[in-house]
């Protein structure tokens, strides 16, 4: 293991101001920036490995970036979800609690799918959400059945890696 | 290190498990089911990958289908991720295609290394660079290298894959390559360093390279031009000449001399996604020739011209070379 341990207090006092500024310029909102800066340092604390920090700001930025993306993902999913249930009949509209739970579920799935190419993602979702046979997915997307097979396999592999990362 | 960490199925096994699952999902014939059962029984990693792929697939499917409202899950995820991507691109955050913090935290040092690597190539890619001191660095398929130049040394850290280094002279600053297995110091030179799953192979083309194995107390060795050494946890072992030119990849070629077909195919597989199998019946056939790496499908199609084999493509990433009957 590395010999130099991470001095979190030093890291905090040296870089907190800078990180807050960086986050603020991305989020355009001081309160969210303060929250995520706090979260970033919390993540550093939770991380057990003793990392030798030759570039502390790059390290903090990597974590902060991930948190910004989480934050945005949540916002975008919520917006997209509300749009897509807007046209449901009232009786079928889920309660606030159910919505919260479903969003959490969708968020966890979106996280696994993150980084997939759009075509791959579409093929995979059509096959999984609607249980369509590959031939029908191929027809909808205007690609060959073999491509669909490849996309579905690729998506599963991607999810596997995200879940069980080496 | 615990038992389950050792049992981590590698990418190839996972892809095989996925192929099997997809093949069986379309109401497969008993023969395929039996073949799949055999595959699963072959190794513990196969079974583990199979179980994980099954449960992951099941989990995704039931999760997605449990969202009430027709097309709601599909639309939400599609729109959500399109907009997220646009937003990331807009704010120049899109480099983190790998996803958010939870994903990052769940990973070990591996991906962190991947992100931070100064020089990297994907599977099937080869890249060349000139470093700040004029040294040349070539990356073979699936390789990552960090470069640290300091007043007292020029240090490259090979994280994975294979490199060809041609050093520029700088007597004041030795050029060293460190990796999992050892430290290699160039003594005016050109050499290839290849990190395999459990060892590292050094081939010196010109000059010499001093090898200091990772483990303390082991003596260092000087490898001269034309020599090859294997470095692993047990130390440093000289190797006889092999059936393959170790730096031909830098020219985009595989050059084999009387090489076993199975070894040749294992080599080709490094440049491809997916499974490339070799029927044991033809594994020991011998092969000599010069092959271009830029299109490995074409390369495989050449094999039946010189050997009694045929190339069976079950899918884009499931290819086997079998005896020609």
CATH numeric code, B116-239: 2.60.120.1440
Give yes or no for a contact between B278 and B321, defined as CB atoms under 8 angstroms apart: yes
| Banded pLDDT at A49 (limits 50, 70, 90) | low
Task: Report chain B's mean pLDDT, rounded to a whole number.
Answer: 83
pLDDT at B94 over 90: no
Give yes or no for a contact between B115 and A62, defined as CB atoms under 8 angstroms apart: yes
| Fold held by B248-323 | Phage tail protein beta-alpha-beta fold (3.55.50)
pLDDT at B1: 37
Give yes or no for a contact between B104 and A62, defined as CB atoms under 8 angstroms apart: yes
SS3 B140: coil
Contact across the interface for B65 and A160, Cβ inside 8 Å: no
pLDDT at A6: 53
Using a CB-CB cut-off of 8 Å, the residues of chain A touching B116 are: 58, 62
pLDDT at A58: 81
Tell me the residues of chain A between 88 and 107 that have a Cβ less than 8 Å away from chain B: 88, 92, 94, 102, 105-106
**Closest CA of chain B from A91, distance in Å:** 11
- Distance between CA A109 and CA A120 in Å, rounded? 15
pLDDT at A54: 67
What average pLDDT does the segment B293-320 reach? Answer: 89
What average pLDDT does the segment B231-251 reach? Answer: 86
Exposure string of A80-105, with b = 16+ CB inside 10 Å and e = fewer, is bbeebbeeeeeeeebeeeeeeebbee
| Banded pLDDT at A45 (limits 50, 70, 90) | confident
3-state percent breakdown (helix, strand, coil) of chain A, nearest 5: 75, 0, 25
Poorest-pLDDT segment among A23-27, A44-48, A79-83, A112-116 = A44-48
pLDDT at A66: 86
Which 8-state DSSP code applies to residue B72? Answer: H
* B43 vs B112, higher pLDDT: B43
Comma-separated ranges of CATH 3.55.50.30 domains in chain B: 248-323
pLDDT at B70 over 60: yes
**The complex's ipTM?**
0.85
**Which residue of A lies nearest to B273 if distances are taken between CA atoms?**
A154
What average pLDDT does the segment B284-292 reach? Answer: 91
What average pLDDT does the segment B256-261 reach? Answer: 91
| Fold held by A115-166 | Arc Repressor Mutant, subunit A (1.10.10)
Residue B41: Cβ within 10 Å count: 10
| Banded pLDDT at B118 (limits 50, 70, 90) | confident
Comma-separated ranges of CATH 2.60.120.1440 domains in chain B: 116-239
Dihedral angle sign, alpha carbons of residues A4, A8, A14, A19: positive
Tell me the residues of chain B between 69 and 128 that have a Cβ less than 8 Å away from chain A: 69, 71-84, 87-88, 91, 93, 96-112, 115-116
pTM over 0.80: no
> How does pLDDT run across A56-109, given as a tens digit for each residue?
788 888 888 889 989 999 999 999 999 988 887 777 778 877 788 888 889 989
The residue ranges of every structural domain in chain A are: 115-166
| Banded pLDDT at B3 (limits 50, 70, 90) | very low
Contact across the interface for A88 and B100, Cβ inside 8 Å: no
> How does pLDDT run across B208-221, given as a tens digit for each residue?
998 887 665 566 78
Contact across the interface for B79 and A65, Cβ inside 8 Å: no
Contact across the interface for B78 and A122, Cβ inside 8 Å: yes
């Amino acid at each position: 293991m590395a010999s130099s341990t991470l001095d979190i207090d030093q890291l905090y006092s040296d870089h907190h101001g800078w990180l807050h500024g960086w986050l603020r310029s991305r989020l355009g909102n001081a309160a969210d920036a303060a929250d995520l800066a706090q979260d970033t340092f919390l993540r550093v604390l939770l991380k057990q490995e003793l990392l030798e920090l030759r570039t502390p700001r790059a390290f903090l930025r990597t974590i902060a970036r991930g948190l910004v993306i989480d934050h945005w993902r949540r916002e975008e999913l919520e917006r997209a979800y509300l749009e897509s249930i807007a046209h449901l009949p009232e009786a079928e509209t889920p309660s606030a609690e159910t919505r919260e739970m479903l969003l959490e579920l969708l968020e966890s799935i979106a996280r696994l799918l993150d980084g997939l190419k759009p075509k791959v993602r579409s093929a995979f979702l059509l096959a999984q959400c609607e249980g369509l046979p590959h031939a029908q997915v191929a027809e909808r997307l205007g690609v060959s059945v073999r491509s669909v097979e490849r996309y579905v396999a690729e998506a599963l592999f991607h999810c596997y890696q995200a879940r069980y990362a080496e | 290190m615990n038992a389950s960490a050792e049992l981590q199925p590698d990418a190839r096994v996972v892809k095989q498990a996925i192929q099997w699952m997809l093949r069986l999902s379309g109401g497969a014939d008993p023969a395929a089911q039996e073949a799949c059962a055999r595959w699963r029984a072959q190794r513990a990693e196969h079974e583990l990958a199979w179980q994980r792929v099954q449960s992951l697939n099941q989990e995704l499917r039931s999760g997605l289908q449990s969202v009430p409202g027709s097309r709601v899950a599909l639309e939400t995820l599609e729109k959500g991720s399109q907009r997220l991507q646009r937003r990331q691109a807009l704010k120049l955050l899109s480099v983190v295609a790998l996803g958010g913090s939870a994903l990052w935290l769940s990973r070990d040092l591996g991906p962190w290394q991947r992100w931070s690597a100064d020089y990297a190539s994907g599977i099937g890619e080869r890249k060349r660079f000139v470093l700040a001191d004029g040294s040349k660095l070539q990356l073979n398929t699936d390789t990552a290298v960090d470069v640290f130049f300091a007043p007292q040394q020029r240090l490259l850290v090979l994280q994975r894959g294979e490199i060809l280094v041609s050093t520029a002279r700088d007597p004041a600053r030795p050029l060293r390559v460190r990796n999992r297995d050892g430290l290699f110091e160039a003594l005016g030179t050109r050499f290839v360093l290849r990190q395999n799953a459990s060892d590292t192979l050094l081939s010196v083309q010109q000059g010499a390279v001093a090898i200091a194995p990772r483990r303390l107390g082991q003596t260092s060795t000087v490898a001269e031009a034309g020599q090859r050494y294997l470095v692993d946890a047990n130390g440093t072992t000289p190797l006889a000449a092999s059936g393959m030119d170790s730096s031909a990849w830098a020219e985009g070629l595989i050059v084999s001399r009387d090489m076993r077909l199975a070894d040749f195919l294992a080599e080709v597989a490094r440049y491809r996604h997916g499974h490339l199998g070799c029927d044991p019946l033809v594994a020991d056939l011998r092969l000599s020739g010069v092959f271009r790496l830029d299109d490995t499908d074409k390369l495989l199609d050449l094999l039946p011209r010189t050997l009694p084999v045929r190339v069976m493509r079950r899918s884009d990433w499931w290819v086997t070379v079998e005896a020609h009957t």
